Amino acid sequence: MPAIVVLVKNVPDTWSVRTLDSDFTLNREGVDNVLDEINEFAVEQALRLRENNPDAGYEVVALSAGPSGSEEALRKALAMGADRAVLLADPALAGSDVIGTAWALTNAINQVPDVALVVAGNASSDGAMGALPGILAEYRNQPALTSCKSVQLSGEIVRGVRETHDGDYDIEASLPAIVTVTDKADKPRFPNFKGIMAAKKAEITTLSLSEIGVAPEQVGLGHASTAVTSANARPARSQGDVIRGDAATAAQKIVDFLEAENLL
């Protein structure tokens, strides 16, 4: 049975107060952790691709890498309709940078038979790098259709529409491939009661690094290829300028402002 693997991540709720530890990694203690919102769009896309191609017999597999508690994101994906879930959990993964994370995920994906498509969000809310899908495509030697607002499968071809500041682009690639979606993609469905109850009882397959053939020295904070050396709090948002006066005076002030900012 061909598989569509959808990558999901348990992240601190964006409404929570997020802080950094002394090693500049995100402090996940004492905050609510939830399925990343962009991953809900990814799960929805994977489910629609399965539903719109019934003859292909796709299985949707939700996959996550993370510490204890990451099962919650996977159970949300199961409640939405994923067929099964896999969690890569190993203490040695803690603090991995995007390169190490992509390498670990590549080898975890390899444990799923006959993967036709990997679907992910375009960028996580906690890291916001957006680099993982491209690195994953390089490791897997597969084409990547990134930042798509819609995706379709037709036989062995996947097609997407990428939205940019310059307009929409129609892109396509042969399977197997990697696809990332934005929040302009199909709106995620709400899990029904039956799905929620089934997800609570579902067994989640847990893998360790040794089971996927990844050595501890290839991942983790101590072996990261990149490092954060400093961090500054985002400055408080200041109030914008208020332009007052009659219509002619106000209009001229607006023109002067736009010229000063090189926006005309």
Establish if 260 belongs to a structural domain.
Answer: no
Establish if 29 belongs to a structural domain.
Answer: yes
Residues 245 and 243: their CA atoms lie apart, in Å, by 7
Contact yes or no for 148/142 (Cβ under 8 A): no
| DSSP H or E run through 47 | helix 37-51
Of the candidates 106, 124, 121, 118, the residue with the CA atom closest to the CA atom of residue 219? 106
- Does this model's pTM top 0.85? My answer is no
Angle at CA 36, nearest 5°, toward 34 and 40? 110
Two structure tokens written together for 264: 């005309």
Contact yes or no for 145/171 (Cβ under 8 A): yes
Half-sphere exposure of 43 (CA within 13 A, CB side): 29
What integer pLDDT is reported at residue 235 of this predicted model?
Answer: 77
Residues 82 and 76: their CA atoms lie apart, in Å, by 9
What three-state secondary structure class fits 131?
Answer: coil
Two structure tokens written together for 157: 């071809």
Phi, psi for 159 (deg, rounded to 5): -125, 145
Of the candidates 222, 220, 227, the residue with the CA atom closest to the CA atom of residue 103? 220
Establish if 244 belongs to a structural domain.
Answer: no
What integer pLDDT is reported at residue 246 of this predicted model?
Answer: 84
pLDDT tens-digit profile, the chain (264 residues): 899 999 998 876 555 565 666 655 555 565 666 788 889 999 999 999 999 999 999 999 999 998 877 888 899 999 999 999 999 999 998 888 889 999 999 999 999 999 999 999 987 766 656 788 899 999 999 999 999 999 999 999 999 999 888 889 999 999 999 999 999 898 999 999 999 999 999 999 999 999 999 998 888 887 777 777 777 777 777 777 788 878 888 888 888 888 888 887
Range of the domain at 85: 3-223
The sign of the CA dihedral 37, 178, 160, 97 is: positive
Beta-carbon contacts of 259 under 8 Å, excluding residues fewer than 6 positions away, are none
Establish if 46 belongs to a structural domain.
Answer: yes
Establish if 212 belongs to a structural domain.
Answer: yes
Establish if 264 belongs to a structural domain.
Answer: no
Which CATH number belongs to the domain containing residue 86 in this structure? 3.40.50.620
Can you list the alpha helix ranges (DSSP code H) found in 89-154? Answer: 98-109, 132-140
Establish if 233 belongs to a structural domain.
Answer: no
Residues 256 and 149: their CA atoms lie apart, in Å, by 37
Q: How many domains does the chain have?
A: 1
Establish if 122 belongs to a structural domain.
Answer: yes
Strand pairing category for 177-181 and 115-121: parallel
